[in-house]
Structure 1
Amino acid sequence: MNLTDRVAVITGAAGGIGSALARRFAAEGAAALVLADLDATATGAVAESVGPIARAVAVDVTDEDQVRELVADTERRYGRIDLFCANAGVATGGGVEAADAEWDRSWRVNVLSHVYAARAVLPAMLARGEGYLLHTCSAAGVLTAVGDAPYTATKHAAVGFAEWLAITYRDQGVRVSALCPQGVDTPMLADGLAAGHLGARVIAASGAVLTPDQVADAAIAGLAEERFLILPHPEVAAYALRRAQDPDGWQAGLRKLVRRLRA
């Protein structure tokens, strides 16, 4: 997909990867950007920095009615949605002991919000015979987020759902990509490090933390090539292959890393 003259919606747009996508899409010549997030003030600031093509809206992506209205309002204003970026995500830093409320929130933000977006945006895309869904899923969805069970489980589900969409709708003109970065310098990582979360410490120890702008650059390249799996950290592909070929060895290596960090 070429972003020139396209209408795009980005959720989780108040900062991090979402705001970087907005800036990059504007630089590519997008016609209109609708930036959605719970944090209306921060999203408004992003929209103002991007310019007049950007519009900020307050949306709770875990509320299907709000997602449906986001899509309907965008279609009324601009006539269509060419690209919907389901980018909102949350981490917990918890294991099996994480409270049910944390599991539920992870499920609703990391998975159900993608389902709600697809339900709302697919009818018009299918009617036109074209459209694009970009789901931010994380490398945790193809590997594992050590130290965060809810994040690992829900990001695997997000990748699985994105793949299902790609298989089901590609022949009807709707393309799907799963954006799966590993470590990214975002508030989510900073908050995890401040809280001492093991997963955040593993990411920091890897020495491969990208900026949100670097992730946005990778997203643009992946969209241009219409690749399903967009890996801003190319080493993730090698990790995934190693994990598939030798799961016991892969797990042993991660356990060793965890022991070192805990020591």
Structure 2
Amino acid sequence: MNLTDRVVVITGGAGGIGAALARRFAAEGAAAVVVADLDAGAARAVAAGVGPVARAVGMDVTDEEQVRTLVADTEQRYGRIDLFCANAGVSTGGGVEVDDAGWDRAWRVNVLSHVYAARAVLPAMLARGGGHLLMTCSAAGVLTAVGDAAYTATKHAAVGFAEWLAITYRDQGIRVSALCPQGVDTPMLADGLAAGHLGARVIAASGAVLTPDEVADSVIAGLAEERFLILPHPEVAAYARRRAEDPDGWQAGLRKLVRRLRA
């Protein structure tokens, strides 16, 4: 996909990767960039920084009616949506002890929001014979987020759903990409480090933390090549192969890392 003259919607657009995507898409010549976020004020600030092509919308991705309204209003205002970026995400920083409310929130934000987005945008995209969905799934979706059970489980589900969409709709002109970065310098990582979450410490110890703008560079390249898996950290592909070929050895290596960090 070439971003010139495209209409783009980004959820979770008020910071981190979402804000970087908004800036980069505008720089690439997008006709409109809709910055949607639960924090309406922060979304407005990002849109103001992006410029006149950007529009801010306050909305909750876990409310399907609000997702439908976002899509309908955008299509009415601009005539279409070329690229929908389902980018909102949450972590818990915990394991099986996380309560049901925490698991439910992770499920609704990290998985169901993608389902709601697909339900809303696919009819018009299919009618036009084209469109692209970009889903921020995280490297946790192909590996494991050590220290965060709910994040791991829901991000695996998100990758699985994205793959299902790609297989089901590719021949009808719909492109699907799963964005799977590892460590990114975002508020989510900073908050995890401040709270002492093991997963955040593992990411920081890896020494491979990218900026959101670097992730946006990878997204532009991935969209241009219509890749399913967009891996800003290329080493994730090698890790995934190692995990598939030798799951016991892969797990042993992670356990060793966890023991070192806990010590």
- Same fold judged by TM-score > 0.5? yes
1:1-263 equivalence runs, <5 A = 1-263=1-263
Cα separation, 1, equivalents of 2:180 and 2:171 = 23
Cα separation, 2, equivalents of 1:88 and 1:25 = 17
Cα separation, 2, equivalents of 1:122 and 1:75 = 12
Give the AA of the match of 2:125: M
Secondary structure of the structure 2 residue equivalent to 1:97: coil
Provide runs of 4+ in structure 1 moved above 3 Å.
Answer: none
Shift of 1:101: 0.3
Shift of 1:20: 0.1
Secondary structure of the structure 2 residue equivalent to 1:196: coil
Cα separation, 2, equivalents of 1:245 and 1:57 = 44
Instruction: List per-residue Cα deviations over 1:65-106 (Å, max 9, x = no partner).
Output: 000000000000000000000000000001001010000000
Structure 1 gaps, min length 5: none
Instruction: List per-residue Cα deviations over 1:201-236 (Å, max 9, x = no partner).
Output: 000000000000000000000000000000000000
Secondary structure of the structure 1 residue equivalent to 2:4: coil
Give the AA of the match of 2:194: A
Secondary structure of the structure 2 residue equivalent to 1:144: coil
Give the AA of the match of 1:62: T
Shift of 1:183: 0.1
Shift of 1:18: 0.1
Shift of 1:155: 0.1
Shift of 1:124: 0.1
TM-score (norm 1): 1.00
Shift of 1:167: 0.1
Secondary structure of the structure 1 residue equivalent to 2:34: strand
Give the AA of the match of 1:72: A
RMSD of equivalent CA atoms: 0.2
Give the AA of the match of 1:99: D
TM-score (norm 2): 1.00
Cα separation, 1, equivalents of 2:39 and 2:156 = 26
Cα separation, 1, equivalents of 2:94 and 2:213 = 28
Length, aligned pairs only: 263
